[in-house]
Amino acid sequence: MDSTQRTRPKGGGSPVGLVVFIILTVVFAGLSYWGFAKYTEAQQEVITATAEQERAERDRAAARSELANFQDVAGAETPDALADVISTTLGKSRELGFGSEAQDTATDALQVALRAMEGQRDAIEKLSSDMADLSAQVRTVTQQRDAAAATYEEELANLQDDIRRLNTQVADLTADTRAQLQREIDQRTALQEEYFTAQDDWRDSEMRYILHVAELQERVRRLSGEGAIFEEADGIVASIDHMHNKVTIDIGGRAGVRPGMRFVIFTRDARGHVVQKGVVEVLDTTPDVSMAAIVAVAPDQAIGRGDYVYNLAGPDPRLFVFAGEPQNYTISEWTSFIRANGGEVVGEVQRGDKVADYLIMGRFDEDDPVVVTQVRAARDFGLTILTEERLKEAMGL
Q: List all residues 6 or more positions away from 155 whose beta carbon is below 8 Å from its beta carbon.
A: none
Q: How far apart are CA 276 and CA 396, in angstroms?
A: 11
Report the pLDDT value the prediction gives residue 308, as an integer from 0 to 100. 93
Q: How far apart are CA 368 and CA 348, in angstroms?
A: 15
Report the pLDDT value the prediction gives residue 101, as an integer from 0 to 100. 65
Contact 246, 283 (CB under 8 A): yes
Report the pLDDT value the prediction gives residue 251, as an integer from 0 to 100. 94
Report the pLDDT value the prediction gives residue 7, as an integer from 0 to 100. 47
What Cα–Cα distance (Å) separates residue 351 from each residue in 114, 170, 210, 321, 346? 130, 60, 22, 11, 9
Report the pLDDT value the prediction gives residue 19, as an integer from 0 to 100. 66
Report the pLDDT value the prediction gives residue 45, as an integer from 0 to 100. 64
For the chain, which ranges sit under pLDDT 50? 3-13, 225, 227-229
pLDDT tens string 152-209: 788 888 888 888 888 888 888 888 888 888 988 888 878 777 766 555 555 556 656 6
- The answer to whether the pTM exceeds 0.85 is no
pLDDT tens string 226-257: 544 455 788 999 999 999 999 999 999 999 99
Nearest to 257 by CA among 337, 309, 316, 303: 316
Which class for 143: exposed (0-12), middle (13-18), buried (19 or more C-beta within 10 A)?
exposed
